């Protein structure tokens, strides 16, 4: 496997861990529940470690944009499915703009690793 493949795999793991940690943040009830709080800290730490592995190959600005953009979409989805949080149209437009930015970076930027 190529180093680019491994870097993007690490980035995908970082995103999944970050979304999991964000869901646990909701479950921690402002850090009053020890189990979800400890799990949240562990998932955030693992997410940042995986992100650090990814930025060995992927430029940090690109990796962070993908991590943030995809993380927002997945966190929004998890919030809707698990916590029944509904967004208004302005929130959807904002998320669509973020997604557009990530797509533009990946399709047209010469900075990305291919």
Q: What is the pTM of this model?
A: 0.85
Q: What distance in Å separates the CA atoms of residue 33 and residue 54, rounded to the nearest whole number? A: 32
Quote the pLDDT of residue 19.
Answer: 97
Quote the pLDDT of residue 113.
Answer: 63
> Nearest Cα to 19, choosing from 1, 54, 52, 46?
46
pLDDT above 90 covers a percentage of the chain that reads 68
pLDDT beyond 70 at 49: yes
Quote the pLDDT of residue 102.
Answer: 82
Q: Is 87 left (phi over 0), alpha (psi -120 to 50) or beta?
A: beta
- Residue tagged 């973020």 (tokens): 98
* Token pair of 54 as six digits: 């990814």
Quote the pLDDT of residue 2.
Answer: 77
- Residue tagged 């020890």 (tokens): 34
pLDDT beyond 90 at 27: yes
**pLDDT tens figures, 78-105:** 999 999 999 899 998 998 998 888 888 8
* Token pair of 80 as six digits: 């809707």
Contact 11, 63 (CB under 8 A): yes
pLDDT beyond 90 at 111: no
CA-to-CA separations, 32 to 26, 28, 36, in angstroms, rounded:
11, 6, 9
Question: Which has more confidence, 95 or 24?
Answer: 24
């Amino acid at each position: 496997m190529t180093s680019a493949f491994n870097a993007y795999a690490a980035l995908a793991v970082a995103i999944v861990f970050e979304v999991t940690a964000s869901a646990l943040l909701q479950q921690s009830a402002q850090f009053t529940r020890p189990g979800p709080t400890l799990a949240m800290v562990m998932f955030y730490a693992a997410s940042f470690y995986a992100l650090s592995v990814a930025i060995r190959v992927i430029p940090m600005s690109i990796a962070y944009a993908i991590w943030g953009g995809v993380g927002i979409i997945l966190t929004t989805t998890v919030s809707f499915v698990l916590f029944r949080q509904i967004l208004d149209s302005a929130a959807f437009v904002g998320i669509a703009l973020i997604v557009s930015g990530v797509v533009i970076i990946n399709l047209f930027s010469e900075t990305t690793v291919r």
